[in-house]
Structure 1
Amino acid sequence: MSTYAAETAVNLKASLESLYAQTVPPDQIVLVVDGPVDRGQEDVIAQYRNDRRILHMSLIRLPKSRGLANAMNVGLENCYGEFALRMDSDDVCEPDRIEVQLAYARAHPEISLIGTWSEEFYDDGAPSHLKVSPASHDAIVRALRWRNVLVHSSILVRAEALRRVGGYRETYGKLEDYDLFIRLAQAGVKFHIIPKVLVRVRSGTEQRIRRGGLAYCIKEIRFRIDCFRSGFLNVRQLVMVTAMYTTFRLVSGQLRRRLYSLVRT
């Protein structure tokens, strides 16, 4: 988990509390502070470092923010467990999230990455959306050729699998999770998605706006070309998905939000 200057103390507190209140608590929380943060966040961090419900919080401070991919790689270096559970500093776990995912992972040693469904909610009072995804590995990989169906903050993954592919790459900006999932699939890692909402994902208009524009579009095109060169996409898929996402990234932020809603229920 990482936090940074643009996060709020209220969101960070809600996120951490949802981890500390788990029916099966984590052995360790690795919190990467990605550059300086305000006094409010520092107070929240100090509060939870002294909370004995979880005995080991590893706090890593980076002098300057370099983005999520770098923060996640630094965090992974400090994870000592067999499994790594991802969490964002503004999302909220259901109380049984770790219990459910860990039970599935232990019962299915052939599966290395377990995600879940999620509910996207908005602070502005807009209706929430349920993000559903296929459950089986083959269906997930087929869907990944067209869009990212895995919710990054919902995954539990065997740490060895992450390290085997070199962790995250900073090459494609905010597509670092999508890029990771495709490289894991190509490395033979097996996926499963539990068809149950175990994470509530905070969303907003500003987030949709950030995921558009010319610069984002160019990175998206480069990413798809890389997927083609690696053999993950064929020519037809490359042409179709690049055309679709070029249009998607260049439309207005409000229209993009409506289009996002079409792939939720």
Structure 2
Amino acid sequence: MSTYARETAANLEASLDSLWAQTVLPDQVVLVLDGPVGDDQEAVVARHAAGPHAARLDVLRLPDNVGLAHALNAGLARCTGHYTARMDSDDLCLPDRIELQTRCAMQTPDSDFLCSWNDEFFDGGGPVRLKVAPVTHEALIAALRWRNVIQHSTIFVRTDSLRAVGGYRAKYGLLEDYDLFVRLALRGARFRVIPKVLVHIRASLDQRRRRGGLRYALNEVRFRLDCRRAGFLDTRQFLVITALYTVFRLISGGLRNRLYALART
């Protein structure tokens, strides 16, 4: 988990609490402070560092804000477990997340990458939206060629597999998770989805605004061109998907939000 100055103390507190409420506790929670954070977040960290699960909490402080990809790589270097799970500092794990993902990993030893369904909620209310993904490896990879159907905060991956591909890359802006999934797939990782909501994802309009505009669209074109060169996409897929998503990123925010609602259910 990585947090930074713009996160709220209440969100961070709730996220950490959801980890300590697990039916099977994580052996280690690596919390990366991506640059200086406010006194309110520092107070949350201090409480948990002195709490009943202090021995499981590993706090890593970065002197400057380096961005999510670099912060996660710094945290990955501190992970000691055979598997590494991911979570954002404003999301909430259901109590059985770690138990179910650990059990699935033990029952399917050929799986390198596990994730789950999730739902999205807004702080100000509004409908909760369910995000699903295909369950089998083959169906998931087929869907992944067209769009990112994996929620980053639900993943549970062999640590060695993450390190073997070099962890995260920041070269495509906010697409560091999608880029990671594609590189894992190209390396032969086996994917599996647990068809159950295991994480509540906090959504915001600001988050969706960041995923639009010319700069984001250009990063997406560069990313998909890289996917084509690597053989993850064929020429037809590249042309069709790039055209559709370039239009999607450049349309007005209100229309894009409505399309998001359709795409995520």
> Residue in 2 aligned with 1:226?
226
Q: What is the distance in 2 between the residues matched to 1:46 and 1:182?
A: 37
1:95-134 equivalence runs, <5 A: 95-134=95-134
1:149-184 deviation digits (Å, cap 9, x = unpaired): 111000000100001111111110110000000000
Residue aligned with 1:55, SS: helix
Q: For residue 72 of structure 1, what is the amino acid of its counterpart?
A: L
1:128-161 deviation digits (Å, cap 9, x = unpaired): 1000110000001000110001110000001000
> Residue in 2 aligned with 1:138?
138
> Residue in 2 aligned with 1:198?
198
Q: What is the distance in 2 between the residues matched to 1:124 and 1:248?
A: 26
Q: What is the distance in 1 between the residues matched to 2:222 and 2:75?
A: 27
Residue aligned with 1:170, SS: coil
Q: For residue 102 of structure 2, what is the amino acid of its counterpart?
A: L
Q: What is the distance in 2 between the residues matched to 1:60 and 1:11?
A: 19
Residues 1:56 and 2:56 aligned together: yes
> Residue in 1 aligned with 2:235?
235
> Residue in 2 aligned with 1:216?
216
Q: What is the distance in 2 between the residues matched to 1:54 and 1:257?
A: 40
TM-superposed deviation, 1:54? 5.5
> Residue in 1 aligned with 2:32?
32
Q: What is the distance in 1 between the residues matched to 2:51 and 2:173?
A: 34
CA contact (8 A) 1:119 1:199 kept: yes
> Residue in 1 aligned with 2:147?
147
> Residue in 1 aligned with 2:92?
92
Q: For residue 31 of structure 2, what is the amino acid of its counterpart?
A: L
Residue aligned with 2:55, SS: coil
TM-superposed deviation, 1:81? 0.7
Q: What is the distance in 1 between the residues matched to 2:252 and 2:90?
A: 25
1:111-143 deviation digits (Å, cap 9, x = unpaired): 011000000000121211000110000001000
Q: What is the distance in 2 between the residues matched to 1:98 and 1:51?
A: 20
CA contact (8 A) 1:5 1:38 kept: yes
CA contact (8 A) 1:161 1:184 kept: yes
TM-superposed deviation, 1:63? 1.1
TM-superposed deviation, 1:75? 0.3
> Residue in 1 aligned with 2:249?
249
> Residue in 1 aligned with 2:164?
164
TM-superposed deviation, 1:50? 1.4
CA contact (8 A) 1:26 1:54 kept: no
Calculate percent identity across the aligned residue pairs.
56
Q: What is the distance in 2 between the residues matched to 1:88 and 1:140?
A: 22
Residue aligned with 2:22, SS: coil
Q: What is the distance in 1 between the residues matched to 2:229 and 2:264?
A: 30
TM-score between both structures, scaled by the size of structure 2: 0.98
TM-superposed deviation, 1:53? 3.3
Q: For residue 185 of structure 1, what is the amino acid of its counterpart?
A: A
TM-superposed deviation, 1:56? 2.1
Q: Which 5+ residue runs of structure 1 have no aligned equivalent?
A: none
Q: Which 5+ residue runs of structure 2 have no aligned equivalent?
A: none
CA contact (8 A) 1:113 1:190 kept: yes
RMSD of equivalent CA atoms: 0.8
CA contact (8 A) 1:153 1:199 kept: yes
> Residue in 2 aligned with 1:70?
70
Q: What is the distance in 2 between the residues matched to 1:253 and 1:114?
A: 32
